Structure formats: C-alpha cells, structure tokens
Amino acid sequence: GGSACVPAPPPFDGPNRDAVQRRILTGQMPRLESHVTSIGEGGLLLLERGLHRTPALRPSLDDVLSHPWIMTNVIQAGHTDVNDIVDRLLHFVCRPAVHKVIGKLMTRAVSGSKVHSLGEIFRSVDIRGDGEVSCNELIAVAAHRREDIKNVWSRLDLEGGDLSLEHFIVANVFSEGIMSERMVEEVFGQIDTDSSGEISAAELLYALRQVDTTLSRQDILDFLVGCDEDLNTMMSYSDFCSYFPTAMKKSEDFARRRTYMQDVGDLTLEVFERYKGIIEKWVRKFKSGIDKLKEIQQKNAKGELAGNLKMCREFMEVVDGMLGAAGQPPSVSFPDRAASVLGVTKVRMPSQDCDKAGLFAFDMVIVAATRYWKGELAMLELGVREATQDGLAESRAAAMSELLPTVIDVAREIVEFAEEAFEEQAASLDAALLLEEPMPRRKWSGR
C-alpha cells in the first residue's frame, strides 16, 4: 500500500511504483536516501506520512494534492508569477462598484488570444484541476501574501466561495496588456444606444443595472466626478475613457500586435528551416534505400548473382530500414524561446500553438500519411522475408524480381509526397510573409 505513495515524476525524483513493488516482493527494500536529498523538509514529511505502516494515517489523495509543498513545487515548475496574480486581484477588489460592473461588460469584448492567455495563468494555480481556485489553494502557493489573499476573498462576490475562470477574467480585465481602447469603445457603444456620442449618468446606471441589479444611484455619484443629484450630467466618449487610464490606445495596441506578428514571423522561419532539415534527412533515408534497391535489382537480373543469399540479406536490411523510418516520421520542434514568443507557458503539439507559428500542424500530415506507408512496407517486409528464406536460388531470384519494383514504388511515393507537401507549405509561408504589410491585423494563422 505504501509503495503507491512513492511516485516517479518530479519533484520526488524517486524510484517508480513497479520498482518498489518488485523489490518488496523479492525481499529487497529500496534505499530511498539517495533519491530524496533534493526534496526538502516539507516533501520528506509528506513522504513519511505516505509510507506510514498504518493505512488510516496515510494522507488521502485530496490531502496530497492540496499539500502546500506539492502546490508550491507545481507553481515553481510552471514559472507562474503568483505575486502578479495576487496584485491584479487586489487591485480589482479595491475598485469602485461601478468599475466592477463595467468589468463584467468588458469581458464580452476580450479577444480570444487574451482569454487563452488568462486561462493558461488560471490553470497554473488551479492545482486540483477542477476549474475553480479556492482561497486556501492560492494561499498554499503564495503563503507570503496570506493577508492580501484573505482580503481579496472577503471582498469578491463569489458564489460558493471559489474563484472560477469567468471571475478571474473579470478581475483581470482592467490589467495592463488586457484592457484596450477597443474594449472601452464597445462598452460605451452598448450604453450609447442612440449613437449620439454622449451618455448621461442615468443611462449609465440603467445599462449597468442590467448586469448587476444591486448597483445604486450613490454608486454612480461616487464614480462620476461632479455629477449632479438628478444624474443629468452628460459624458462624452473621451470623458468616459478618462476613467480607464490603463486602456491601451489603438496605436499602442497596433504597435504591440505588429511587434508580436514580426516576432512570430521570425519564429516561424526558424522553426520552418529547422523542420526542413529534419524532413530532408528523413527523405534521404528513402532515397538511399531506393539506390540500394536498384543496385540489388541489377545484380538479381544477372544470371550468376540471381537469388544470391548475401543479396537477399541486403534486400531484407533495406526494407527493414525503410520500415523503421516510416515508423518514426519527422515532427516539428520548437526552440526554447517559442513559448515566450507565443505567450504560453509550454508549447503543446499538436495544438493551436503549432497554428500560431504558421505551420498548420504540417507534421501531422506526414504522420497520417506514414501510417499507410508503414502498413504497406510491413506487408512487403513479410513477403521479402518469406521469399529470401526459400531454399532454391531460382525461386528467391523470381520472388525478388517481383517484389523489388513494388518496394521501390512505395519508397518513391513517400519521397514525392514529402517533397511536394513541403514545397506547398513553403509556398504558403512565402504568401503569408508577402501579406505582412497589407494585412498586419490578421491573425498569423489566417494568412
């Protein structure tokens, strides 16, 4: 029972469960001293509890997952800035009630890429993976901010007491890099129903009450400087913008997007050149195999060498080599800086991260195609094996004469497909780069 509490993955870095159980069954208890020196005191205490001889005294799975040492190590592994998370939440709860309601309206205008980025940050502290972050969960990974976190939770309007992704996005909507002038424009447009370019304090209260019925007249008076008691004060779009100084101007947002696209473009070229080398190396294996098969074909056509056992073994080795290559198709690899350029904690493949880099998961096309070729080569390999084991040289020669053209055709098909598909991908990339100037606002994958 206790052996199940000695996992192999970091941060424990210990023997795996099978190794522990095997040594227990053979009477060889594992020596853990050399494996746990880097764990630290908190990890050692948890490990000791997990190995307690009394099952009832061992921690449950929930206890292990919520243990401060586990949470801290997971956060550190993800390189998440927990201080920044707490600061953003703290700034949000200190905002006026009107700001918070406007924040809910603004979440509808947050771009998909920003929602994705915020989701990545949220999931990095959602240790239990249940889609919610509790107060204790956040304290466990930011114990030095305990009082700030408690203050945040006491002032957040949370159903059930836990922070959902939806609440997290609302709390971050005013953050630098998230809020934009476009978002402010959209909210102003929702309130300015007659498109006059101005809204009254009364209109603002009415619109915001559609989102939060608890909002009061006094909340509006506290929010708007110099507003009269009758809420007749008119406000222009520029006046409305002045209440949101962190909103990124369109010019700033455009410059940021342009820089981002240029960085992604440079990354794409780097990844593409790297993948080109991998593809070429992979294709060379089949080209080399084709050359060897042609040599064998010529030798087999000569009467004195036809069906030679050495030649049969060479044929078998070439087919085995091609089958091995088909079983290991080339895949896209990203440099270390890719994650920071794409704005993710880790580049996942296949996923939209590949698409962000302009590759359209091209490697998956090769992988899908090689599944078919691998099956073809496997069937041919069986035929070659049977043919080359025949006792008569004449029979071996006849079988090889029949099989060699088929194997060569399959290898040529693989080479032609890989080269043509890669040329098509290169053309798509060239087109995308040419469209950089006239279409800078388009998503990279849309080019």
Predicted local distance difference test score (pLDDT) of residue 49 = 81
Contact yes or no for 178/110 (Cβ under 8 A): yes
Predicted local distance difference test score (pLDDT) of residue 311 = 82
Contacts of 246 (CB under 8 A, 6+ apart): 174, 175, 176, 179
Report CA 135 to chain centroid distance, whole Å: 26
Instruction: State the pTM of this model.
Output: 0.45
Torsion over CA of 147, 152, 154 and 158, rounded to 10 degrees? -150
* Amino acid at the residue 421: A
**44 phi/psi in degrees, rounded to 5:** -65, -40
**187 phi/psi in degrees, rounded to 5:** -65, -45
Above 50 in pLDDT, residue 360? no
Above 50 in pLDDT, residue 200? yes
Predicted local distance difference test score (pLDDT) of residue 39 = 66
pLDDT, tens digit, 9 for 90 and up, residues 320-358: 898 888 888 877 777 777 777 766 666 655 444 444 444
Contact yes or no for 173/107 (Cβ under 8 A): yes
CA dist 85 and 168 (Å) reads: 10
Measured CA angle at 437 (ends 431, 442), to 5 deg: 75
| Window from 29-33, 278-282, 398-402 with minimum mean pLDDT | 29-33
Helix (H) or strand (E) holding 310: helix 309-326
CA dist 6 and 215 (Å) reads: 53
CA dist 51 and 3 (Å) reads: 7
End-to-end CA distance of the chain: 56
Q: Is 331 exposed, middle or buried (0-12, 13-18, 19+ CB in 10 A)?
A: middle
Secondary-structure percent of the chain, ordered helix, strand, coil, rounded to 5:
65, 5, 30
* Amino acid at the residue 88: R
Q: Determine what percent of the chain is predicted with pLDDT higher than 90.
A: 1
Above 70 in pLDDT, residue 444? no
| Window from 42-51, 167-176, 403-412 with minimum mean pLDDT | 42-51
Who wins on pLDDT, 76 or 153?
A: 153
Question: Which of 187, 157, 175 has the alpha carbon at shortest distance from 114?
Answer: 175
Above 70 in pLDDT, residue 202? yes
Measured CA angle at 381 (ends 375, 387), to 5 deg: 145
Contacts of 394 (CB under 8 A, 6+ apart): 306, 307
Q: Highest mean pLDDT: which of 93-107, 257-271, 364-378, 417-431?
A: 93-107
Here the tokens at position 277 are: 């080398």
Contact yes or no for 346/339 (Cβ under 8 A): yes
Question: Which of 183, 196, 205 has the alpha carbon at shortest distance from 236?
Answer: 196
Contacts of 193 (CB under 8 A, 6+ apart): 203
Task: Give the HSE-up count for residue 227: Cα atoms under 13 Å, Cβ half-sphere.
Answer: 24
Helix (H) or strand (E) holding 133: strand 132-133
* Amino acid at the residue 396: R
| Window from 8-17, 81-90, 142-151, 233-242 with minimum mean pLDDT | 8-17
Predicted local distance difference test score (pLDDT) of residue 339 = 73
Here the tokens at position 266 are: 């440079």
